[in-house]
Every structure is written in structure tokens, then in C-alpha cells.
């Protein structure tokens, strides 16, 4: 008896009228994966510097995220404490081992800091993004001990730091950076693109925020 795998592949080949060992077909597939052609990139994200930052902020707002922009990472703890206070949220924060987060002057605030993965009971989580995409106001998160993926989804309020220098115009630039960091064809276990807070339209097609993921998404954008 042939395996399901063999059967499916040979059915596909029979339907397509191919054998599977054709050199030209294999070369086409190899080249596509090797070269990974970019396709059509919308003009919207093709801006740089201050314009790119402004586009990212505008698009994040359009997706119902909030943004505070600070000149330097040392100002971030105070900005985060302000955000929590102004929304009447408790002064607690859970985060991973990312040195960029660890090294910030938390002592200047009264925030109660805890570390590690979320068990589902944390109200406020903090993560550091790998990057952002100006085209759509999207945050790019990668998994690992520095920024556990559970922090992206379980806390009620998710605060994400992103460096202005890590903002890309489009998704394709993000993949170039991922390949540079992880190697061609390799990926972190999880890449989360996050565009705004969790929502659902499943009840009478009315959009409500805070379905299963965070009810609020606050972005702290660092630098010029």
C-alpha cells in the first residue's frame, strides 16, 4: 500500500501532467525560494526619516493603538507610569529578559516590576518589538526569552517599545532584517505581526475591542 504522502503527490503530478523530476520545474522553484522576489510594494510606506515615523504613528492610531513618543529610552519608564496612571491601571508591569528593557531606570518610578512568561493573571505586560511597519502601523514581535510571546496576548494591557530606527517602510524590509538576524530560510519560532488591540465583530458585526488578547495596545516609540 502506498503512503498518503506518495498518493497525494502523485495525484497532484498526474493532474498537472508532470513527473516531478523535471529539471526546469525544479530550477524555477529553487530560484523563487532563493531569490524571493519582492512583487509590488505600495508607495504608501516608501518614505523615510520623520515622515516614516509620522506614518507609523498615524497608521497605529487608525488601528486603535495609542502612541507616546520619547526622545530616549531613559524616558520610557516615566512615560509608561504616566500611561498606566492616566488610564487608572494598577502600577504593575510584567516583562521578559530583554536587556533593552532591563537597563531602563525603573527605580525612578513606583512601578512594581515582575519578570518572565505570563500565566494569564497579569494586567499589564511590556515587550520590546523587533521592529515596526509604517505602511500599516504594525508591530513586529519575535519569540524568545527576551520577549515571551505569552506577554503579547495574555495581559489586559500590552505596552510595546519600538525603536524609531527599527521602523521599516514595508513588510518586505522586515523579512530582509529577519534573514540577516536569523539566516536565509530560518525563522524565530514565532513572529507576531500586531496591528492594534484585540477585537471581535462576531456579535452583530459591531467591532468591540478586547476579545481574547489585550484590550489596550500602547506603543512607546523611542528616538528620532
Partner 1 sequence: MTVHPTSPNFKDNASRALADGQLQRALGNVKKGFIEKRQLAADRLPEFDALRDSARDIKNHTLAHLDLYIERYEEKVTASGGHVHFARDAEEAKEIILRICAEEGARTVTKGKSMIAEEIGLNAHLEAAGITPVETDLGEYIIQLRNEMPSHIIAPAVHLNATQVETDFRRVHTHLDAQRDLSEPVQLLTEARAVLRDRFLAADVGITGANFLVAETGSSIIVTNEGNGDLTQMLPKTHIVLASIEKLVPTLEDVSQILRVLARSATGQDMSVYTTFSTGPRREEDVDGPENYHVVILDNGRSAMLGTSFEEMLRCIRCGACMNHCPVYHAVGGHAYGWVYPGPMGAVLTPTLIGVDKGGHLPNASTFCGRCESVCPVRIPLPKLMRHWREREFERHLSPATMRSGLKFWGYFAKRPTLYRMSTRLGMGVLGWLGRRKGRFASLPFAGGWTKYRDFPAPQGGTFQERWRRERRDGASRNSTRVDAR
Q: Footprint of partner 1 on residues 139-168 (CB under 8 A)?
A: 143-145, 148-150, 152-154
Number of residues forming the site for partner 1 (CB under 8 A): 82
CA-based radius of gyration for the chain: 21
Q: Does 114 bind partner 1 (CB under 8 A)?
A: no
Q: How far is the CB of 217 from partner 1 (least distance, A)?
A: 9
Q: Does 11 bind partner 1 (CB under 8 A)?
A: yes
Nearest to 195, CA basis, from 130, 132, 128: 132
Instruction: Single out the segment in contact with partner 1 by CB under 8 A; choices: 26-34, 81-89, 101-109, 160-168.
Output: 26-34
- Residue 88, number of CB atoms within 10 A of its CB: 6
DSSP code of residue 215: S
CB 118 within 8 A of CB 151: yes
The contact pattern for partner 1, residues 59-98, with x = CB under 8 A and - = no contact, is x--xx--------------------------------x--
Q: How far is the CB of 19 from partner 1 (least distance, A)?
A: 9
Euclidean distance between CA atoms 222 and 165, whole angstroms: 8
Q: Is the dihedral of CA 41, 42, 43, 47 positive or negative?
A: negative
Residue among 12, 58, 71, 181 that touches partner 1 (CB under 8 A):
12
Residue among 28, 58, 71, 181 that touches partner 1 (CB under 8 A):
28
Euclidean distance between CA atoms 218 and 60, whole angstroms: 10
Residue among 1, 23, 43, 49 that touches partner 1 (CB under 8 A):
43
Q: Does 58 bind partner 1 (CB under 8 A)?
A: no
Which of positions 165-184 make contact with partner 1 (CB under 8 A)? 170-172, 175, 178
Q: How far is the CB of 163 from partner 1 (least distance, A)?
A: 21
Nearest to 99, CA basis, from 147, 155, 167, 153: 147
Q: Which is nearer to partner 1, 66 or 175 (CB)?
A: 175
Q: Which is nearer to partner 1, 73 or 139 (CB)?
A: 139
Q: In Å, how far are 54, 63, 139, 166, 180 from 135, measured between CA atoms?
A: 11, 12, 11, 14, 21
Nearest to 46, CA basis, from 133, 130, 131: 133
Amino acid at each position: 500500500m502506498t503512503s498518503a504522502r506518495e498518493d497525494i503527490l502523485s495525484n497532484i503530478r498526474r493532474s498537472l501532467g508532470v513527473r516531478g523530476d523535471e529539471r526546469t520545474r525544479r530550477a524555477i522553484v529553487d530560484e523563487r525560494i532563493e531569490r524571493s522576489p519582492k512583487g509590488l510594494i505600495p508607495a504608501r510606506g516608501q518614505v523615510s526619516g520623520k515622515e516614516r515615523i509620522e506614518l507609523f504613528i498615524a497608521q497605529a492610531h487608525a488601528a486603535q493603538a495609542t502612541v507616546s513618543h520619547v526622545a530616549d529610552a531613559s524616558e520610557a519608564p516615566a512615560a509608561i507610569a504616566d500611561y498606566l496612571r492616566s488610564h487608572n491601571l494598577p502600577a504593575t508591569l510584567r516583562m521578559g529578559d530583554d536587556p533593552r528593557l532591563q537597563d531602563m531606570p525603573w527605580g525612578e518610578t513606583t512601578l512594581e516590576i515582575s519578570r518572565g512568561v505570563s500565566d494569564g493573571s497579569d494586567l499589564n505586560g511590556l515587550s520590546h518589538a523587533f521592529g515596526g511597519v509604517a505602511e500599516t502601523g504594525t508591530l513586529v514581535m519575535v519569540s524568545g526569552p527576551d520577549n515571551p510571546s505569552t506577554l503579547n496576548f495574555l495581559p489586559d494591557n500590552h505596552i510595546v517599545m519600538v525603536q524609531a530606527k527599527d521602523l521599516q517602510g514595508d513588510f518586505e524590509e522586515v523579512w530582509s532584517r529577519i534573514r540577516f538576524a536569523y539566516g536565509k530560510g530560518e525563522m524565530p519560532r514565532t513572529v507576531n505581526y500586531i496591528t492594534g488591540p484585540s477585537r471581535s465583530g462576531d456579535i452583530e458585526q459591531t467591532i468591540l475591542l478586547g476579545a481574547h488578547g489585550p484590550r489596550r495596545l500602547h506603543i512607546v516609540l523611542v528616538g528620532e
